[in-house]
Structure 1
Amino acid sequence: MKIKKLGIMGGTFNPIHIGHLMIAEQSRKKFNLDKVIFIPTGSPPHKDEKQLANALDRYIMTILATSDNNNFMVSDIETNRYKTSYTVDTLELLSQKYKDSELFFITGADSILDIENWKNTNKLLNICTFIAATRPGYNVENVMAQIRKLEEKYNKKISYLTIAPVDISSTQIRKRIFEGETIKYMTPDPVINYIYNKNLYK
């Protein structure tokens, strides 16, 4: 199958959860994406690695979480990278690999508010169309104002997506595991089983 429109969803996925999957699926439907590729980060520049499960575990959990959706793929392009991983480097590689595809980078509204602190913002916005998905707790007016500012400054279109509110975070899941609370229905069962079998986040 030729991929005309490819969604890209990067993240630490520490662990991946239902909220991530909902954003990906709703983006796929809204923007008529042929596939969404999940890319777990390797060594992200802005995360505290003390709380980060190793790259292989996060990659496997992402595969487990997405395996029942034929429209989802998972890439190890970043988890195989030993140096600090920047989004712009990954997007450049993907634009070469999928040179005949239109690329869409799916991210949360919080990332759009912070995107000018990312490495090479101008190049990022030139490589692909950004989709900003709302999350609970973010001021929509602030997000829309930021989108307008970025579109004017960089002359690039940024799309906006309102998703069904699901107040689940990886931080919350890790905290519940540490405290011995249930995480049932917060992430797919295969991921839950993997976490407990590997004794992660204890």
Structure 2
Amino acid sequence: MDIETIIEQAEKKQKEIYDKKEKMERIALMGGTFDPIHHGHLVIAEQIRCEYHLDKVVFIPAGIPPHKSNLQVADAKHRYFMTLLATVTNPYFEVSKIEIEDDQVSYTIHTIKKLKKIYPENTELYFITGADAICDLDTWKDVKELLHLCNFIAATRPGLESPLIDEKIEELQSKYEAKIRKMDVPALAISSTDIRRRRKAGQSIKYLVPEPVEYYIYKNGLYR
């Protein structure tokens, strides 16, 4: 099966999930540059989905990432298609274009507000982020309002010092009455940065990303 057919099937799956949105009650949002998406992202999303009994996890590729505006990022359409290819086999995973269709900087607060208008009023939203990002949460736009609009799940990764994360979570809970939960996830020690470095150096990226994503990267000459 070629990549174009897989993408077509993935987009069809998106429509089927969207048509059932009125039945959703517990949804996790996983934002990120996904440049490229890799197995570590998928492991985290699936582990959290199962742990919190979520109806689905929505992957949201950033349009113009606010914290990476000075870095070169692959075109949004490539990052969207790679995310589609990586998630198509999981019926509980969805990919949203909500940020890449916007020509403004992708602030999480704006995305959450838009989704609040789309999903039913009783929908409980969770935002998945890396535990290390929690330490920078004070720098996010309108953080106080953001922390009242949705729950946060901080996923740990290998090598991260958890005491620092615990202290920051306690600080945010005290300062903003935030609902933040930390979850230890046996994620693989894989990073998008390392994948791009390997690709540029002509090294193998096999098994670091799903096979269709690997094929897409090579076919479109990404990260050379």
TM bucket normalised to smaller: over 0.9
Which portions of structure 1, spanning 4 or more consecutive aligned residues, are displaced by more than 6 angstroms? none
Q: Which residue matches 1:42?
A: 63
Helix, strand or coil at the partner of 2:222: coil
Q: Which residue matches 2:173?
A: 151
Q: Which residue matches 1:168?
A: 190
Mapped pair 1:71 → 2:77: no
Identical-pair percentage = 49
Between Structure 1 and Structure 2, how many residues are aligned?
A: 202
Q: Which residue matches 1:137?
A: 159
TM-score when scaled to structure 1? 0.97
Helix, strand or coil at the partner of 1:51: coil
What are the residue-to-residue correspondences of 1:20-169 with 2, within 5 Å?
A: 20-48=41-69, 50-98=71-119, 99-169=121-191
TM-score when scaled to structure 2? 0.88
Q: 1:15 corresponds to which letter in structure 2?
A: P
What's the C-alpha RMSD, in Å, of the aligned pairs? 1.0
Structure 1's unaligned 5+ residue stretches are: none
Distance in 1 (CA, whole Å) between partners of 2:189 and 2:74 is: 22
Mapped pair 1:183 → 2:205: yes
Q: Kindly provide the CA deviation profile for residues 121-175 of structure 1, in whole angstroms up to 9, marking residues without a partner as x.
A: 0111011000000012211000011111111111122111100041100000000
Distance in 1 (CA, whole Å) between partners of 2:112 and 2:96 is: 12
Structure 2's unaligned 5+ residue stretches are: 1-19
- The Cα of 1:95 is off from its aligned counterpart by 1.3
Q: Which residue matches 2:215?
A: 193
- The Cα of 1:49 is off from its aligned counterpart by 5.5
123-132 or 43-52: bigger deviation: 43-52
Distance in 1 (CA, whole Å) between partners of 2:52 and 2:135 is: 22
**Distance change (3 Å), C-alpha of 1:132 and 1:35:** same
- The Cα of 1:48 is off from its aligned counterpart by 4.5
Are the counterparts in 1 of residues 44 and 187 from structure 2 also a CA contact under 8 Å?
Answer: no
